[in-house]
Chain A
Amino acid sequence: MTVNEKTAQADETEAAADREVLVEVKNLKKYFPVKGGILKRTVGNVKAVDDVSFKIYKGETLGIVGESGSGKSTLGRMMMRLIDSTEGSITFKGQEITNVRQGKVRPLRKDMQMIFQDPYASLNPRMSIGEIIEEPMVVQDLHDKEERQRIAGDLLETVGLSREARDKYPHEFSGGQRQRIGIARALSTRPQFIIGDEPVSALDVSIQSQVINLMEDLQDDFDLTYMFIAHDLSVVKHISDRVAVMYLGRLAEIAPIDSLYKEPLHPYTQALISAVPSTDVTKKKERVVLEGDLPSPSNPPSGCPFHTRCPEAHERCRTERPELTDIGNDHYVACHLYTDPETGEVIRD
């Protein structure tokens, strides 16, 4: 069956009409130079993020999955403007933020906050919990001191800790409690957009579910939009509305969770999903086991970055790089299997 491109476009405009774009990333790249020789000249580039484009709609959770080295964390850091991008643009609420100078980034952070993976490394051990939560408000020059203290206390209750925790220090809390403190800190400036970089990966299963539930509740209460970066496909499936799959700095596929998990199109996504150990002991699962390791991002394969491990690779994959193509119903995939080599038309059967 060939999906008519016009219908696909019509679908998209219809769906997009009632969705407001909060963040848009266009052709974003981050190259880290590799220096070599005695003159420390640039001898090559690690293409950590290589030409990535997508949109995040207001109120949704976009999951970003990928293995180590896929560029998912670098992407998050660029969007937070913690590191500069090499090329491309990031738009937040229609405002171009890519070229805002480092010194002027601060006001942006009021609306965008980040939650980090390691709850032990991301809280300053010398600051009390109250100071930690109040700090973003101090930096943003929000409220007077009393009001800030009141907000910090309220936020501690919101994330399930007691007000008294304000006077304690990070070492007095467990990993799960520290992650709650990190969340309270992120909420203190009343942001609209939160990037979570593996926020539950370091937590035990029973604690992980507490934090996931908390993040879901807060999304409703505070009208938050999330970008949730993780390597755990089950967690991402649970929390996200749409998921983007990254491989070697590029997007392989992006789709709503239902179609991505039920009908993954990219051979990499298919392998990734089938590699997740199944807890359903009543069924025997067919598994695609990928050969080999992730190639080095400093020397990515030509053509499709996945062709060296892809069971479906053919000649075109070795030479021509597939672009992310809309194949209808909000599902995008970067794979030659779904476009006609002659006409470039979308094929789907």
Chain B
Amino acid sequence: MSKETLLEVEDLHTYFYLGDKVAKAVDGVDFNVHKGETVAIVGESGSGKSITSLSIMRLIPQPPGKIVSGSVKLEGRDLLALSDKEMTNVRGDDIAMIFQEPMTSLNPVYTVGEQIAEMLLRHKKVKTKKEGKAKAVELLQQVGFPRAEETVKEHPHQLSGGMRQRVMIAMAMSCDPKLLIADEPTTALDVTIQAQILELMQSVKEKYHSSILMITHDLGVVAEMADRILVMYGGQIVENTSKYKLFTDAKHPYTEGLLASMPTIEEDKERLESISGTVPPADNFPQGCRFAPRCQYAMEACTKEVPALREVEPGHYVRCILYDENQGGTAHDS
């Protein structure tokens, strides 16, 4: 089974220098995204999931932020080594991004059509503005606008949240990117609109044969969309496995706790499990395993050093000493 790798992130470290403090927002992240695959990064606020995606796009505000080390390779080409100008071409042509709040990503003073046309011109997909506007109508039709000819003449404030997100998806897909990064794309939307947008993302992905890297805190959305899931905690990936494995056989105590603390519409839980304590701040991570202070299985060895992300079964990676034989791990299941 050989899958072609599209994106390869290796040992990525992104730090923020705030006065005399260093916030290790992303601290040693490794993962791959294969062609045609949807990978989701899940985590709570402060886990480093958004900073990971911004680092891939090289959109980290600098200073105070800095990609300290690591590499981000798109089809073998190291994005971190590119000049700013080359990177500008990668954004949009090769990797496109959509954000949580589409209103802040659209310019309020231009019409939707003008913005799409400008971007098509910028990426040399069309030669004239007029051609760009015609293409904009076509793109909007593809993402489900029934009256696309009128919508291109409207300003962003005239559209609803769901419609704005459709515009963003249309713009993102217009240059046929290899990778679409979606940072909480449906978090600001109502549930019936969310269902529409998720369905649209699935269909554009199939149509354009692109890969999706999705950042979200919503495990339900992940279960709908992802092929593979990365769970982040304290700037590191603590578990990396297929969607099916994650929801049926989660191994890291944090993932377990997260799943147990979530009310679901299918089951009736008498009482929700909860993880005590709060997410540690990035400038003050505990020694050793970052989850240890909140972990019900924590033992002395956990506070000594950060456990490695180990492959515990094919394609299933866990950062926990319970699964490390050398450390006297005991939690192997047959």
Contacts and interface: CB of A to CB of B under 8 A. Distances in A.
Contacts of B194: 275, 277
Given A238-B263, A261-B265, A289-B199, A277 B274 contact: no
A228 to B, nearest CB: 12
Nearest to B247: A281
Contacts of A281: 223, 243-244, 247-248
Contacts of A282: 248
Nearest to A276: B265
Contacts of B274: 206, 209-210, 213
Interface in A190-243: 204-210, 212-213, 216, 231, 233-235, 237-238
Interface string B251-263: 0000001110111
Interface string B223-243: 110000000000000000001
A110 B207 CA distance: 59
Given A277-B218, A279-B219, A282-B248, A205 B261 contact: yes
Contacts of A209: 261-263, 272-275
Lowest 7 A-B CB distances belong to which pairs? A277-B220, A209-B261, A67-B190, A238-B263, A204-B44, A275-B195, A209-B272
B86 interface: no
Interface string A249-266: 000000000000100000
A276 B257 contact: no
A237 to B, nearest CB: 6
B316 to A, nearest CB: 15
Interface of A: 67-68, 174, 176-177, 204-210, 212-213, 216, 231, 233-235, 237-238, 261, 271-282, 287, 289-290, 293-294
B65 interface: no
7 contacts: A174-B278, A205-B258, A207-B44, A209-B261, A209-B262, A216-B271, A275-B192
Given A210-B274, A238-B272, A281-B248, 6 more contacts: A209-B261, A231-B190, A234-B220, A234-B263, A234-B264, A261-B265
B69 interface: no
Contacts of B191: 67, 231, 233, 272, 275-276
Question: Which secondary structure dominates where chain A touches chain B?
Answer: helix
Interface string B268-289: 0101111110110000000000
Contacts of A275: 191-192, 194-195
Given A205-B258, A213-B274, A279-B220, A289 B195 contact: yes
Interface of B: 44-45, 160, 162-163, 190-196, 198-199, 217-221, 223-224, 243-244, 247-248, 257-259, 261-266, 269, 271-276, 278-279
Nearest to B223: A279
A237 B265 CA distance: 7
Nearest to A65: B191
B258 A278 contact: no
A231 B193 CA distance: 13
A278 B243 CA distance: 12
Contacts of A205: 44, 217, 219, 258, 261-262
Given A204-B279, A206-B258, A293-B163, A277 B198 contact: yes
A79 B248 CA distance: 43
